[in-house]
Amino acid sequence: MTSTTTAVNTRVNELIRTQIAEGRQIGVQVCAYSDGDLVVDAWAGRMGPKDGRPVTEDSLFLSFSTTKGIASTLIHMLAERGLIDYDEPVAKYWPAFGQNGKDRLTIAQMMSHQAGLHRMPEPFAPEHITDWDDGIRRMEEGVPAYEPGTATGYHAVTFGWLVGGLVQAVTGKHIKDLIRTEIAEPLGEADNMFVGIPHGLDDRLTTLEIVPAGEGLPIEDDAEFYKAMPKTMWQHFNSMPFREACLPSGNGHFTARSLAKMYAALAGDGSIEGTRLVQPDRIAYMQQLQTADVDVVLGMPTPKSIGFFLGGEAEGIHGPTGPRPTAFGHPGAGGSVGFADPEASLSVGVTLNKMSYPDPGEGVTLEICDLIRSELGVA
């Protein structure tokens, strides 16, 4: 279905219905803004592998690390207000964090996954996700896997407590509340953007066909990849305790429209439809490369800015965020994505419930994003 009549929207509708017919999607939403105008707003498919209800425009999809982009946007908003400085140590604002050699780690380094705190407790237990206060404490007392600032390793889960602990220390408020009051409500998306699902939304929740990250890949069981993302963690993400917990690194529930609208502001001058998130000059910090080193968790070079993954090409191949290194946003495990491409004045949000891990240069999400770029002439 659709609520937009542009030519690119028609093509996207055709593509996602083809993907569903081929069994490569179950349910999906796609939204895109170009020059601040809504040009794609499409949805199709079923609410879950065993849920035949049709996806609607307000269905909520658990979007894993796409959540990091929303949390990072909040950090940039706080920096613009002078509450934090990217180049100052985290411990300046959060003194309890400065234990075990973490006292000099800067906010910019922490936000670009250089803290060395990517490891989850072993063996994994569900409360390691659902207990917020324990997660904060583990970050405070954590011993880095390497000297902070000397390497980068994707903090797949722990990023949530790092950013949440900083926000709490600076503002005295919970990050899930600030995401709602500072981003979701001003954008008119308060009912479509959640980090921690409140009661009463069960009928809007899609169900994931879960495929654990790393499944089928030649990754050793004792690799840092699985220390950051335990194999036994994934089975719980459809459960209500996991949905209701606040995990600003990985359990955000969004519509594609809410993602695309937030990034539409960041793809422009920092505002959308009269709502300003940041001033125009703040966007440069979101695009500013912090590290492109080989990631010790992901095992490949991963260009990162302050809280976002950057676009660009490697050996002629780009991901959903696109070929321009000035594009920024965040993918989520299994295929969701939200990003801004300021050079193209483009933002895109994709939410889906059939997780997959295609080879570089392939996959349903890349097909969707490339089609949008091609149809708009910004490929």
Q: Pick the catalytic residue: 34, 59, 65, 305? A: 65
**Helical segments of the chain, H only:** 7-21, 66-80, 90-93, 107-111, 127-130, 132-141, 159-171, 175-178, 224-228, 240-244, 256-267, 283-287, 364-376
What element of type H or E holds 314? strand 313-314
Q: Nearest Cα to 372, choosing from 3, 2, 11?
A: 11
Q: Answer for the pair 70, 163: CB distance below 8 angstroms, yes or no.
A: no
The type of residue at 169 is A
Q: Give yes or no: 65 in active site.
A: yes
Residues near 372 by Cβ (< 8 Å), separated by ≥ 6?
Answer: 8, 12, 30, 32, 40, 346, 348
DSSP codes of every residue in 192-251: TEEESPPTT-GGGB---B---TTTTS---TTSHHHHHS-GGGGGGTTSHHHHHS--TTT-
Active site residues: 65
